[in-house]
Amino acid sequence: MIPLWMFLLVAAALFCIGAYGVLSRRNAIAILMGVELMLNAVNINLVAFWRYLTPLNMSGQAFAAFVFVVAAAEAAIGLAIIIAVYRNRRSVVVEDVNLLKW
């Protein structure tokens, strides 16, 4: 059986890729995708911990399901915002969207 640490390793790798994408990409859609990666990495963790540590307790699965729902909603709203920004500024580069500051 695949040991738990392998799942965790994959998840950590995935999270780091996602985090890197979020921090380094200029395109807002790419950032959004990075966020999705991070969320899925967390999902892997949740499911893996559930499966290995508390298989009798469904909370891990349930959490993962919640995260899907939230991620879907977040993606929808995020894309809508990006479209709205694009309509105003003709750009999806986040560095151009810097009005909200001091």
Partner 1 sequence: MQFDLNDPNILPWLIPAGPLLAFVIIVLLTNRARWLPATSPEYGGHHPDYEGMEVPVVHASSRVASIIVGMSGAVTALLLALAVVTQVAAYPERFGKGVFASSVDWLATGAGAFSMGVLVDPLTTIMLIMVPIAVLCIFIYSIGYMAHDPRQARFFALISLFAGAMLTLVVADNLLLLFVGWEVMGLCSYMLIGFWFEKESAYKAAIKAFTTTRVADVIMLLGIAYLYAETGTLSFREILYNAEVLDRLASAPAIIFGSVSAAGLISIFLIIGTIGKSAQFPLHVWLPDAMEGPTPVSAMIHAAAMVSAGIYAIIRMYPLLAAGGDPHHGEFTSPLLLMAVVGAVTALFSATIAVAQNDVKRVLAYSTISQLGFMMAALGIGAYVAAAFHLITHAFFKALLFMASGSVIHGMEHGEHHVHEHAHHHKAHHAHDAHAEHDHEAHHKHFDPQDMMNMGGLRKTMPVTFYTFLIGGLSLAGFPLITAGFWSKDEILADAWLGVTHGYGPHALVFVLLALAAFLTAFYTMRQLGLTFWGEPRTEEAKHASLGQGAVSITMTLPLIVLAFFALTAGFVGVPPDFPLFGAIFSPQTNPFFDFVKYTLLPEFQPAKPPFNWIPVLTSFVVALGGIYAGYLMYWRKPLQAGQEDPLISILGRPLHTTLRNKYYLDELYHALLIVPSQWLARVVAEALDRGVIDGVLALIARVFTWIGDLLKVLNTWLIDGVGDGIPRLIGQFGNWIRRAQTGRVQQYLLFVALAALVIGIIFVVSTGLLQAAG
Asked whether position 95 contacts partner 1 by CB under 8 A, the answer is yes
The residue (of 55 and 102) whose beta carbon lies closer to partner 1 is: 102
Q: How far apart are alpha carbons 59 and 85 in whole angstroms?
A: 38
Secondary structure of residue 100 in the 3-state scheme = coil
Least CB distance from residue 24 to partner 1, whole Å?
8
The residue (of 47 and 85) whose beta carbon lies closer to partner 1 is: 85
Asked whether position 100 contacts partner 1 by CB under 8 A, the answer is yes
Quote the radius of gyration of the chain (alpha carbons, Å).
17
Contact 93, 27 (CB under 8 A): yes
Binding positions for partner 1, rule: CB under 8 A = 19, 22-24, 31, 94-95, 97-102
